[in-house]
Amino acid sequence: MGCINNEEKRYFLISISKGRLDSSAPYTKVIDYWYRKPNYKDVYEAVTRIAFTTLARTVRGIQRNPNHDLMKDEASAYLVNRLKGLSAKSQSEFDAWHRKTSENLIAIFAKYNQDFTFGQAQKWINMALKHLALADSSIVKHYYAFCHIPIDSYIIKGLKTNLVSKEMNQIDASFGQDPKKIATWSRIDNYDLYLKFQNDFRNNCSEIPLDYEFHLWQRQKDSL
């Protein structure tokens, strides 16, 4: 996983455990806690289910949808299979895989009359890949450098002060927001604009994007 060491992984996973893990918990215990629970069939199911929790609150009306469990299970199974089949050998291959995966996730939810945006799809996919890298970096090593960063409020705020401000203003404007405001990541509904964000980030980043995102996100969280 790029330049992220086990201590950094341990610290991150403890910091998002909401107090369920002691700060002194060893790395192996932390990994077991997150990814090796008996109710997970494998690491792909683990990261898919964990990643969904990071966006669930933004999916409007999902708890009232009578097909809540059915559509979530169907979408989760689809994403698990897509992750298992991912073997991109170039940025263009990864981007094409990501677009198709996003579109099909949205289509699954639409089948059950549930609104689901590109913003929510990207968060699910990208967080699943981030957690997959944390759980077992050997799985993602061949395409890790091509992965997109999960876009959320921490990252957008962090980019305001850590990347070229002109580029960040352009990104905000492309989402239809005033450049001085924070773009609402969960309502992104245009994949081309989403991809522009990723390309702008990559072009202004001197590290592997997910490595940079990992450190930037943690700095933002620690600053609160």
pLDDT in tens, 85-116: 999 999 999 999 999 999 999 999 999 999 99
Does residue 169 register a pLDDT over 60? no
DSSP string, 15-81: HTTTTSS-TT--HHHHHHHHH--TT-SSHHHHHHHHHHHTTGGGSTTGGG-TTHHHHHHHHHHHHHH
Return the pLDDT at 165.
45
> Would you state the structure tokens that stand for residue 3, as one six-digit string?
């330049």
Say if CB 217 and CB 145 are below 8 A apart. Answer: no
> Shortest CA distance to 29 belongs to which of 51, 6, 55?
6
Rounded Cα distance between 224 and 219, Å, is 9
Does residue 135 register a pLDDT over 50? yes
Mean pLDDT of 130-153: 95
Overall size of the chain counted in residues: 224
Return the pLDDT at 164.
42
Q: Give the amino acid at 75.
A: A
Q: Give the amino acid at 202.
A: R
Say if CB 134 and CB 13 are below 8 A apart. Answer: yes
Q: What is the pLDDT of residues 11-33, one digit of tens each?
A: 999 999 999 999 999 999 999 99
Return the pLDDT at 1.
57
